[in-house]
Amino acid sequence: MKKFNLKAISMLLAVVMLLTVFAACSNNDSKPENNDNATEQSQQNEQTEENYDGKLVFDHSMELKYAKCFSVDYYKGGYKLIKLVDDSAILVVPEGMSVPADKPENAVVLQQPVSNILVSSTPVTSLINSIGALDSISLTTYDADSWYIDDVKQAILDGKITYIGDYKAPDYEMITAAGTTFAFFSTMLTDDVKEQLQNIGVDVILDQSAQEDHPLARVEWAKLYGAIFNKEDNAETVFNTQANYVDELSKLEKTGKTVAMFYITSKGVLYARNADDYMAKMIALAGGDYVLSDVGVGETGTVKMEMEAFFDKAKDADYIVYIWSMGGKPETLAAFTERAEILGDMKAVKEGNVWCTTPDYFQIQNTIGSMINDIRLMMDADASTDNLTYLFRLK
């Protein structure tokens, strides 16, 4: 057996100890330098953030899939600039930040947190409610009995939202007393009411969602309100949920079924949806064909039609979707045909395929995707199905 060289072992141990001490000293020397750098960088970042106060430094724009009538630009420090297709704009200023001196001249300033606003539009209210910002609304131009959105009706009954009269003649004294300085109206707002509101210090923005040419674009307006109330994630969820209905329907084959959509006023005047109206497009997205595809081409909204002219075009429609809330609110098929005797000769009436929209149909803009899905379910339903979420069959 070989003997160990004690002298060699001792030298080796000494070298190892020196290397260990050197490494420890090197690490200790580097730590203060790294900490100083980190602290300095943090201070620089804080200083940079402070420099954004009162300045508009562009960061990025909101991504939109369907909406064309608004845009949202995000700026450093939390500023947001919303532009609408009517050349109006909203500058959203974060809490604790100053209004930039170089803000666009046409921009109405909204200082966050945004609250105590007047909303004179049921679709807009539905979108704001859907993203969890209903408590920001304090005034409305629809009384409790006019609402089919339970949360809104209850807020009015609880005194959290106050009815201030019809949108054509709101109570300006009540608005002034409430201290409200900002309002959303639909495009039905008249110039004289807008002028009166501005005279009492209320900035007015007109919601332009009705100008959108795709049904889901109307839902995507939830993202605009999400930007105002810092509810972007909620708005994205609302939109994606509705868009998913349409995405799934796009994978299905067309039904080959035709659908007529109309209503008759108390005076017996018939109004049908134009060929390029969003509701006619909802039928197409559901896999059906709008029977009046040659009426009002390029137009949205409704068209007034003579009963006989309508009958000639729609008599063989497989289904009727009747706008219940605007058309006399028939509860039975017999009550429906009483609106006009000629209706009894339509194919959809004879086969029991007359469906009506539910009372809340025009108030809940945040569920358009689900409504489109219901139209598909209607066309696929057998005789035993009488009620869907947004449609019900007349018997």
Give residues with Cβ within 8 angstroms of 233, minimum separation 6: 226
Neighbour-count burial of 196, counting CB atoms closer than 10 A to its CB (0-12 exposed, 13-18 middle, 19+ buried) = middle
Q: Region 93-121: what's the mean pLDDT? A: 97
Q: How confident is the model at residue 4 (pLDDT cuts 50, 70, 90)?
A: very low
Q: What is the average pLDDT score of the chain?
A: 90
DSSP sequence for 227-267:
HHTT-HHHHHHHHHHHHHHHHHHTTSPP---EEEEEEE-TT
313, 386, 382: which is closest to 355 by C-alpha?
Answer: 386
Digit-coded pLDDT (tens) for 177-235: 999 999 999 999 999 999 999 999 999 999 999 999 999 999 999 999 999 999 999 99
What is the C-alpha to C-alpha distance for residues 271 and 354, in angstroms, rounded to an integer? 16
- Quote the CA–CA distance of 245 and 378 in Å, as a whole number: 15
Cβ–Cβ < 8 Å for 337, 349: yes
Distance CA 110, CA 182 (A): 8
Residues 163, 186 contacting (CB under 8 angstroms): no
The answer to whether 205 touches 108, Cβ cutoff 8 Å, is: yes
Predicted local distance difference test score (pLDDT) of residue 265: 95
Q: Tell me the pLDDT band of 50, cut-offs 50, 70 and 90.
A: low
Q: What is the pLDDT of residue 348?
A: 98
- pLDDT, position 103: 96
Residue 391: pLDDT above 80? yes
pLDDT reading at 3 higher than 60: no
Tokens linked to 134? 């209903």
**Alpha helical stretches, state H, 250-346:** 278-285, 307-314, 333-337
Question: Which H helix or E strand runs over 154?
Answer: helix 150-157
Query: Which of 143, 126, 122 is CA-nearest to residue 134?
Result: 126
pLDDT digits (tens, 9 = 90+) for 252-270: 999 999 999 999 999 999 9
> Percent of the chain scored above 90 by pLDDT?
86
Query: pTM of whole model > 0.75?
Result: yes
Does residue 24 have a pLDDT over 50?
no
Residue 43 has pLDDT above 60, yes or no: no
CA distance 123 to 120: 9
Distances (CA, A) of 140 to 132, 174, 184, 195, 261: 17, 11, 10, 18, 30
Tens-place pLDDT, residues 326-354 = 989 999 999 999 999 999 999 999 999 99
3-state secondary structure of 363: coil
Predicted confidence at residue 51, as pLDDT, reads 83
CA–CA gap between residue 393 and residue 353 (Å, rounded): 7
pLDDT, tens digit (0-9, with 9 covering 90-100), for 371-384: 999 999 999 999 99
Using 50, 70 and 90 to split pLDDT, how confident is the model at 240?
A: very high
pLDDT of res. 14:
47
Q: What is the pLDDT of residue 304?
A: 97
Q: How far is CA 33 from CA 41, 42, 109, in A?
A: 12, 14, 46
Name all domains of the chain by residue range, CATH numbers in brackets: 58-243 (3.40.50.1980), 253-393 (3.40.50.1980)
b vs e for 346-368, b when ≥16 Cβ sit within 10 Å of the residue's Cβ? bbbbeeebbbbbbebbbbbbbbb
